[in-house]
Amino acid sequence: EVQLVESGGGLVKPGGSLRLSCAASGFTFSSYSMNWVRQAPGKGLEWVSSISSSSSYIYYADSVKGRFTISRDNAKNSLYLQMNSLRAEDTAVYYCARGRQYYHFLFDPWGQGTLVTVSS
């Protein structure tokens, strides 16, 4: 069974940093692109960042470019999101999601999410 389990969320002050992790199992992690998608409380879905299977291609939403860094460790079947200079508007549930083969921005499945709260 394909599983994605996020961790690392929590409460952080504005300007602070946080590192999210996503542990993958049940599939050949190194063969798939991976993504982060977030959802602010009571709001819709916003794509955040994507990384190709070999880390050759990395993309960010304009809203996080220069502050967030996506990475992966294929040996550990893990995806990461380093978030720096956090703002109140970054408060959201952050989901990791696998990209489909050939359609890297088609997300299936999703993890259960981890909540990041940016507040003083």
Partner 1 sequence: EIVMTQSPATLSVSPGERATLSCRASQSVSSNLAWYQQKPGQAPRLLIYGASTRATGIPARFSGSGSGTEFTLTISSLQSEDFAVYYCQQYNNWPPSTFGQGTKLEIK
Which residue, 68 or 107, has its beta carbon nearer to partner 1?
Answer: 107
Residue 23 vs 61, nearer CB to partner 1: 61
Residue 101 is a binding residue for partner 1 (CB under 8 A): no
How many residues belong to the site for partner 1 (CB under 8 A)?
A: 21
Query: Least distance from C-beta 103 to partner 1, angstroms?
Result: 6
In the region spanning residues 60 to 99, those forming contacts with partner 1, defined by CB under 8 A, are 60-62, 95
Paired tokens of 69: 């860094």
- Residue 25-64 contact track with partner 1, rule CB under 8 A, x = bound: -------------------xxxx--x--------xxxx--
Least gap, CB of 18 to partner 1 (angstroms): 20
3-state secondary structure labels for all residues of the chain: CCEEEEECCEEECCCCCEEEEEEEECCCHHHCCEEEEEECCCCCEEEEEEECCCCCCEEECCCCCCCEEEEEECCCCEEEEEECCCCHHHCEEEEEEEEECCEEEEEEEECCCEEEEECC
Residue 39 identity: Q
Which residue ranges make up the site for partner 1 (CB under 8 A)? 44-47, 50, 59-62, 95, 100, 103, 105-113
